[in-house]
Structure 1
Amino acid sequence: MTPALFVGLCLAGGVGAALRFVVDGLVRERTSGTYPVGTTLINLSGSLLLGLVTGLAASAVVSDDLRLVLGTGLLGGYTTFSTHCVETVRLAQERRWRASTLNALGTLVLGVALAGLGYALGSAG
Structure 2
Amino acid sequence: MIWMLCFFGGIGAMARYVLDVSIQRSWNRSFPLSTLVINGVASLCAGVAMMSYYAQSVDSDTVMLFLVGFLGGFSTFSTAINELLSLIRKKRFVMALGYGVATVAVPLVCIALGLGLASFAR
Fold agreement, TM-score > 0.5: yes
Gapped regions of structure 1 (runs ≥ 5): none
Q: TM-score, normalised by structure 1?
A: 0.92
CA contact (8 A) 2:46 2:111 kept: yes
Deviation track 1:48-97 (CA, whole Å, cap 9, x = no partner) reads 11111111111111111011000110011000000000100110111111
Q: How many residues align?
A: 121
Q: TM-score, normalised by structure 2?
A: 0.94
Residue 109 of structure 2 is aligned to residue 113 of structure 1: yes
Quick one: which of 73, 81, 105 aligns to 2:69?
73
Residue 39 of structure 2 is aligned to residue 28 of structure 1: no
Q: Once superposed, which parts of structure 1, at least 4 consecutive aligned residues long, lie more than 4 Å away?
A: none
Residue 4 of structure 2 is aligned to residue 8 of structure 1: yes
Deviation track 1:22-58 (CA, whole Å, cap 9, x = no partner) reads 1100111111122211111101111111111111111
**Whole-angstrom distance in 1 between the partners of 2:21 and 2:8:** 20
**Whole-angstrom distance in 2 between the partners of 1:79 and 1:27:** 15
**Whole-angstrom distance in 2 between the partners of 1:55 and 1:114:** 13
1:9, CA displacement in angstroms? 1.1
**Whole-angstrom distance in 2 between the partners of 1:64 and 1:121:** 20
Counterpart residue identity of residue 91, structure 1: L
Counterpart residue identity of residue 104, structure 2: L
Please tell me the root mean square deviation across aligned C-alpha atoms, in Å: 1.0
Residue 86 of structure 2 is aligned to residue 90 of structure 1: yes
Quick one: which of 14, 17, 37 aligns to 1:18?
14
**Whole-angstrom distance in 2 between the partners of 1:39 and 1:52:** 20
Which stretch of the first structure deviates more once superposed, 51-60 or 113-122? 113-122
Gapped regions of structure 2 (runs ≥ 5): none
**Whole-angstrom distance in 1 between the partners of 2:57 and 2:93:** 43
CA contact (8 A) 1:51 1:117 kept: yes
**Whole-angstrom distance in 2 between the partners of 1:103 and 1:45:** 16
CA contact (8 A) 1:13 1:76 kept: yes
Identity within the alignment, % = 28
